[in-house]
Structure 1
């Protein structure tokens, strides 16, 4: 309804209905008894039409007030199947909402005034129904049917319970006219940060974004540390619906038998990246910084030697050679002398025969005799090779001292090379050439693949963090090569990847990030990377990095911000402090009287009453409003500071959401470990995990089908 006054008030009785009743009554009289108004029948029809038109106008105005009051307590249901999600090549659909401005702040402030409380809070009848429902929960028949009747979610139930979303509906009800909220795809390259506490809709928002990315035919990489079965199912269903199921790749640490292979240190642009990806997982605080540098150096020495020997580095090889550095030193010496001096081994064998405990240097005690002989030969010949010199420096350390300085590295390597994940993270070349079960980022980007990465962080946080961080580092390396392909003509293999949008969705990204994540969001946009990160609070990022300045550096690289309900005030202020102050208006009735000082005058006193409008400057939003958001609702700060209030569509089941039995095996196993908040905790026994999830691409029956039949 148009407002012509300084102060807008929609929380009031719908007085327009009185005008509607009068207008409709007059229209009836004009039609039925025009003679009572001294009208002819033809003029009476015209008068009835005019009265009816005025009544309709006033009814529309009354409906605005009535709908506004109704939505203050219950918003209309917003449900959408994944098939109905609109997909555009220009814009990203987010949900329904409106752009927040001064009017909405003014309306929101009115809802907190005591005179408007009866329009905002549940009615007395509703509260009585809830109390009665609680008291009769364990009652016997026939009283036991009353709670079911009162609690039925049906439109004919006048006291039906509110949706289980919590929060304050008024935050969205301040604007009765919603529109579709979208984000231009060109803005996504500036990266997006989604903040929200547990179980408020972050994963649902991720499903909404991922669904559109898959249907647009773009590269979609999803990191899921906790293992959400519904998210995995949604990705496969959308891939199948888009005809892209052959490009669907699954990597899951919790299900090695069903997962693709991946060597996170086997591909690199520079050899030093291998050491950075491994040593980067170690603590760098205090005295640990020195041991971290030692670990980096020795891993770099081993990686260089392996590459020179024609072997692809992996966790198993590096772990083996950290423990047995002598063997690698001998192997590389054989390789080196075969190229430089083929007669060297004759001299080395003679020196080896002469070595005993008396002539063994103190720092070489415990080393193999051949290692000592090679070292003596190199000292006499003055030969120099960068890789061999590095290995020499390693073996010249006293054995016990060497074990101490690499002690911080060994626990990490043992976790990454123990059990079934050893084969998964350290595949041989034959496994990596198996395109159906090998994950390679370059090949995945070129084929516009859909990649799901489940890290099973609930079982082993450290391994999940190490693998996820290494994957980020690997992606940063690929991004650098793609970015340089337009400058360096020698990178033709990466030139074909330039211009491909690469959507990276990192759920709980605070558990995965490290120093490698910063260059991805800082410079990855030039290579087509579009990162959407999901986490709970700012403190999670700061606690993970251990540095407040770096945490601010990470947050400062996200141009788009979507904030759902949060519980930390500092996180809420990340949004509210970026908004301006606005003026809200309020009215006050002023009454005054003045006695007359003239005893002989005709006026004994004067009085006046006036309505005074005052303006007060307040923040556009307060942190308390972010804390009170219902589930599935968010504030979005996009496109250079535009504030939008958004609510996401609730998911509705699709009749064609079927997945192969092999993939259903993994989904059921994941659900056995992870429970959404709205599911009962009585899981069924986990099915056999030895069935191959990759068989769904080949339509092969899994092994457990034969056992069931």
Structure 2
């Protein structure tokens, strides 16, 4: 059905400007003739005045269209100097209006109609060689304004898509700065280790009045990094086994090896817990690589001595009667446990260690051969003290912490994974970190109060650290007050990691909000715009024709017609997502809002 509002072609040539020039010429001609001609001057004055009035009328009509065409040149990159006053304004706006997303407008059917008309016309602006993308897309609206997203909405997670250099990191910089100024815990996982993002985050902490909130982890700079135990937080010991076995290749022929490794790690972890030790990556590697004999003896000593206080003396006296190695002592403890303790007080935790000890040594070595290299990477060199810290080591002055402690102390934590130099280690650290955060989320969900601070988690290049725990945080993190911002380049990145397009779409669909910068992948473009409601666009068709009658060849008839039609199209043309300039985006927010915006570059006042 046609709208009652008349349809006007937006991008036709500015005919009014040509008409104004003609009237301006007529005004000057009449004014000049007044002095040359001997005729009465009143007639020339009236003619000149009429031409001036018509010229002003046409200029008034031409000016809006000239401004409209001028907007097609696009916007220049905007710098946002973060001063103390600007910080106060951002804090106030965050509380009253929500998170600031830059400048722009809400994209509606009117803007889609204008873009549709321009793409169909011959007046499409030429692309500049100095700037990247089609700047005219942002010129579909006359007036832009600050864009805000209410704080209640960002609980439902945000996906950011864009090719390298399109502005993902600058968008993270803007969002991180506001989260810091709101005095909320912030955790940033950056596989590539962007120094600008780290330095801008530190500057935000300084402007918020507490520089000590900022903490940094980077494998490439161990002297400047904090020490963190990524196995500190768990609800059940089996969680640690799942995390570590998840570092192995999964699926296909590797499934039996992964299952065995998970069983072995679980037994070792339970053994350390029985001995009163909190497991670390180094301890787990020692328990697996060096054999479980020593750990088994300590665990059986602790269990048996609990129910039989004289057990250790009995085993020690037998050992002193003859030469005994560790294996012999372990067998004596096993026999004592099975005869004296197991019938009345069985302990499944220590029985897992016994099973592992009695397993064929050659087969055991083959089954965990795939896991040991992954553990070796995380426990070798400086990483041994970074990821398996000893809190009692007074010689190491670097801070020692864990993720739950970072959140409780309201810290701003930057994790640079250095995946460019060592992708395998970077991915393993990222996955362990996300698994630890998932455990913290589960603990907050079960036991924390409603007054807990929301946690802002930023994951750049999410495909590099993709794991089941990240999907769990997207699925269930909202109940634990986790706000996730996940960035990637294309939908194909998730598809390559997860193995199917359906799984990749399922992953993205867990984010209610989607911010898309420039993306060249046609499937990603189609995926984003297909979720928008279709609209009907209007256009004109002009027909003309000439015909003759065979009986009267000298007679001609002609016709000229103009017809208005409607056609269904996309609210935002998908091909334009590949032509967005740097730092410009299209945001599809939860609830159906579609925003076209541009991001400022945050800099210090001295820049």
**TM-score normalised to the size of structure 2?**
0.87
Q: 1:336 aligned to 299, 303, 306, which one?
A: 303
Cα distance between partner residues in 2 of 1:436 and 1:113: 63
Unaligned runs of 5+ in 2: 35-39
1:238 to 199, 204, 212: 204
Cα distance in structure 1, aligned partners of 2:561 and 2:350: 94
Secondary structure at 2:537 match in 1: strand
1:387-414 residue CA offsets vs partner (Å, 9 max, x unmatched): 2211111111011121122222211111
Contact 1:24 1:52 in 2 (8 A): no
Does the CA-based 8 Å contact 1:501-1:530 persist in structure 2?
Answer: yes
Mean Cα displacement is larger for which, 372-381 or 468-477? 372-381
Equivalent residue of 1:185, what SS?
Answer: coil
Matches within 5 A, 1:436-451: 437-451=399-413
When residues 604 and 545 of structure 1 are mapped into structure 2, their CA distance, relative to the original with a 3 A threshold, is closer
User: Does structure 2 conserve the Cα–Cα contact (< 8 Å) formed by 1:23 and 1:55?
Assistant: yes
Residue 643 of structure 1 is aligned with which of 572, 594, 600? 594
Q: Give 3-state SS (helix, strand or coil) of 1:111's partner.
A: helix
Q: Which whole-Å deviations, capped at 9, do the CAs of 1:142-186 have from their partners, x for residues lacking one?
A: xxxxxxxxxxxxxxxxxxx7543x122222223332222221121
Q: State the shift of 1:561 in Å.
A: 0.4
Of 558, 572, 589, which aligns to 1:621? 572
Q: What is aligned with 1:115?
A: 122
Query: Could you say what secondary structure the match of 2:169 adopts?
Result: helix
1:457 to 419, 429, 432: 419
Contact conserved, 2:264 with 2:356, CA < 8 A, in 1?
yes
How far residue 613 of structure 1 moved from its aligned partner, in angstroms, is: 2.1
User: Secondary structure at the residue paired with 1:430?
Assistant: coil
The one-character-per-residue Cα deviations of 1:418-456 (angstroms, maximum 9, x if unpaired) are: 001100100113259999712333332233211111111
Cα displacement (A) at 1:616: 2.2
Say whether 1:291 aligns with 2:257.
yes
Instruction: For 1:54 and 1:579, locate their aligned partners in 2 and report how far apart those are by CA, in whole Å.
Output: 45
Q: 1:345 to 1:312 in 2, by over 3 A?
A: closer
Alignment of 1:103 with 2:87, yes or no, is no
1:64 aligns with 2:64: yes
8 A Cα contact 1:223 1:454, kept in partner:
yes
- 1-side partners of 2:326 and 2:575: how far apart? 66
> Does residue 519 of structure 1 match 2:481?
no
Measured in 2, the distance between the counterparts of 1:529 and 1:327 equals 41
Other-structure match for 1:693: none
CA shift for structure 1 position 261: 0.8
Q: Deviations over 1:527-577 (max 9, x none)?
A: 211000111111212322345444333211101101111122111122111
Question: Secondary structure of 1:579's match?
Answer: coil
Local SS of the residue matching 1:429: coil
- Identify unmatched segments of 5+ residues in structure 1: 123-160, 358-365, 486-493, 658-709
Partner Cα separation in structure 2 for residue 444 and residue 27 of structure 1? 77
Superposition pairs of residues 302-451 of structure 1, within 5 angstroms: 302-323=268-289, 324-349=291-316, 368-381=327-340, 383=342, 384-430=346-392, 437-451=399-413
Q: Confirm whether residue 630 of structure 1 aligns to residue 596 of structure 2.
A: no
Question: Within 1, Cα distance between the matches of 2:480 and 2:120?
Answer: 52
Q: CA deviation at 1:622?
A: 3.8
Alignment of 1:146-161 (within 5 A): none
Where 1:9 maps in the other structure, the secondary structure is coil
CA distance in 2, matches of 1:648, 1:213: 16
- Can you list the C-alpha shifts for 1:186-222, whole angstroms capped at 9, x where unaligned? 1100100000111111111111111111112222111
Q: Give the distance between the partners of 1:58 and 1:281, measured in 2 at CA.
A: 72
Give the Cα–Cα distance (whole angstroms) in 2 for the partners of residues 247 and 650 of structure 1: 23
Q: 1:344 to 1:77 in 2, by over 3 A?
A: closer
Q: Is the 8 A contact 2:30 2:44 kept in 1?
A: no
Alpha-carbon distance between aligned partners in 2 of 1:526 and 1:456, rounded to the nearest angstrom: 31
In structure 2, what is the Cα distance between the partners aligned to 1:187 and 1:518?
Answer: 19
Contact 1:20/1:59 (8 A) holds in 2: no
User: In structure 2, what is the Cα distance between the partners aligned to 1:289 and 1:370?
Assistant: 34
Aligned to 2:245: 279
Q: 1:581 aligns with which of 534, 543, 563?
A: 534
**1:269: Cα distance to partner?**
2.2
In the alignment, what sits opposite 1:208? 174
Please name the residue that 1:127 is paired with. none
Query: Alpha-carbon deviation of 1:597?
Result: 9.0
The DSSP-based 3-state class of the residue aligned with 1:614 is: strand
3-state SS in 2 of match to 1:368? helix
Change (3 A) 1:588 1:192: same
- Whether the aligned pair in 2 keeps the contact of 1:168 and 1:629 (CA below 8 Å) is yes
The whole-number CA distance in structure 2 between the counterparts of 1:418 and 1:617 is: 61
Q: 1:286 to 1:650 in 2, by over 3 A?
A: same
2:37 aligned partner: none
Specify the SS of the correspondent of 1:630.
Answer: coil
Give the aligned CA root-mean-square deviation in angstroms.
3.4
Superposed displacement of residue 348, structure 1: 3.4
The 8 Å contact of residues 19 and 58 in structure 2, kept in 1 or not, is answered as no
TM-score, normalised via structure 1 length: 0.75
Question: Residues of 2 paired with 1:598 and 1:409: CA distance?
Answer: 95
State the match for 2:162 in structure 1: 196
The 1:114/1:480 distance shift into structure 2, 3 A limit, reads closer
In 2, Cα distance between the equivalents of 1:24 and 1:505? 63
Aligned pair in 2 of structure 1 residues 54, 470: CA closer, same or farther (>3 Å)? farther
Paired position in structure 2 for 1:654: 605
* CA gap 1:638/1:367 in 2 versus in 1, 3 angstroms: same
Higher relative contact order (CA 8 A, sep 6+): 2
The within-5 A match list for 1:679-698 is none
Give the direction of change, closer, same or farther, for the CA distance of 1:565–1:76 in structure 2 (3 Å limit).
closer
Structure 1 contact 432–438 (Cα < 8 Å) conserved: no
Q: Determine the structure 1 residue equivalent to 2:225.
A: 259
Q: 1:81 matched to which residue of 2? A: 81
| Cα distance change on mapping 1:235 and 1:255 into 2, 3 Å | same
Using a 3 Å threshold, how does the CA distance of structure 1 residues 53 and 297 change in structure 2: closer, same or farther?
Answer: farther
Alpha-carbon distance in structure 2 between the residues aligned to 1:108 and 1:609: 28
